[in-house]
Amino acid sequence: MNSLRHLAIIMDGNGRWAQKRNRPRTVGHVQGVRIAKKIIRACSDLKIPFLTLYAFSSENWGRPSAEVAILMRLLHKYLKREKENLHKLNIKVQVLGQIERLPEDIVKEIVSTMDLTKSNTGMVLNMCLSYSGRSEITEAFKKFYDLNLEKPFNRENITQEFIQTLLETHGTPDPDLMIRTSGEKRISNFLLWQLAYTEFYFTDTLWPDFNIDELVAALHDFKTRQRRFGSVESSGHSHENQLSE
């Protein structure tokens, strides 16, 4: 049976959920935040060590400015209201992404939430805000350039482990399972490096309809997956035996 240390979720489908009800897309975002709260709580109760939520991508800045403004307002409200609750749940909050692109009041909330929860020992919650996998990798190259200026590297020291230290997820293991809601079967610039051997679970459910039963169903499905990491399953027969037969 597989053990799950890190769950990552692309919370998609808020706009379509609202449109189906002839409501503005933002109504879907409001409901989406409610579901995110429930799922965070459930994952913490289920003792999942790491949860990463894709909440706003670098590309989402290209949406109509009214939608972006409302998303920012919701995010601000969420952080302000929820940080004490997250703290009480012993959750450690980390934010991945280009936070300098976010409005100042949100950056302030992010800094105070991270600061308040930094010594917590329960679930680690990574919130991806203004995040994209490619910009994370681009940033890693910049960090490498700066380090190399201080002290030039031997090329042998550039290993996968070293590259991992330059990524924002440093300290978080690669996701074991990635869930995407809303029927889209793509990764939309999420955790490009980290998803190398992640199991994917796609569901047609729109994020505002996602619930704990479906979370549990995804976790059960994950348990039945055969993870091989490029190797072969052990069949009980060794190659030597087969050769001598």
Taking CB under 6 A as the binding criterion, the range among 11-19, 101-109, 147-155, 234-242 that sits at the site for ligand IPE is: 11-19
- Is 54 or 201 the residue whose CB approaches ligand IPE more closely? 54
- Choose from ligand IPE, Mg ion, none: what does 132 bind? Cβ within 5-8 Å by kind: none
Measured from the Cβ of residue 75, the count of other Cβ atoms closer than 10 Å reads: 22
- Sheet hosting strand 6-10, strand order edge to edge: 92-96, 124-131, 50-57, 6-10, 177-180, 199-202
Taking CB under 6 A as the binding criterion, the range among 91-99, 135-143, 178-186, 213-221 that sits at the site for ligand IPE is: 178-186
User: Total binding residues for ligand IPE by CB under 6 A?
Assistant: 17
Nearest partner of 80 among 101, 111, 56, 39, judged by Cα: 111
- Choose from Mg ion, ligand IPE, none: what does 11 bind? Cβ within 5-8 Å by kind: ligand IPE
Query: What track of x and - describes contact with ligand IPE for positions 64 through 93 (by CB under 6 A)?
Result: -------x----------------------
Given 6, 7, 8, 13, the residue binding ligand IPE (CB under 6 A): 13
Nearest partner of 189 among 3, 57, 56, judged by Cα: 57
Measured from the Cβ of residue 208, the count of other Cβ atoms closer than 10 Å reads: 27
Please tell me which residue in 12, 14, 126, 176 is annotated as part of the active site.
12
Given 6, 9, 10, 12, the residue binding Mg ion (CB under 5 A): 12
Taking CB under 6 A as the binding criterion, the range among 42-50, 147-155, 179-187, 223-231 that sits at the site for ligand IPE is: 179-187
Q: Name the amino acid, one letter, at 12.
A: D
* Residue 56 binding ligand IPE, by CB under 6 A: yes
- Is 144 or 200 the residue whose CB approaches ligand IPE more closely? 200
Nearest partner of 60 among 150, 155, 129, judged by Cα: 129
Let me know if 12 is a catalytic residue.
yes
Taking CB under 5 A as the binding criterion, the range among 7-15, 69-77, 90-98, 163-171 that sits at the site for Mg ion is: 7-15
Least distance to ligand IPE from the beta carbon of 144, Å?
Answer: 27
- Choose from ligand IPE, Mg ion, none: what does 201 bind? Cβ within 5-8 Å by kind: none
Let me know if 60 is a catalytic residue.
yes
* Residue numbers at the binding site for ligand IPE (CB under 6 A): 10-16, 54-57, 60, 71, 182, 184, 186, 188
The residues carrying an active-site annotation are 12, 60
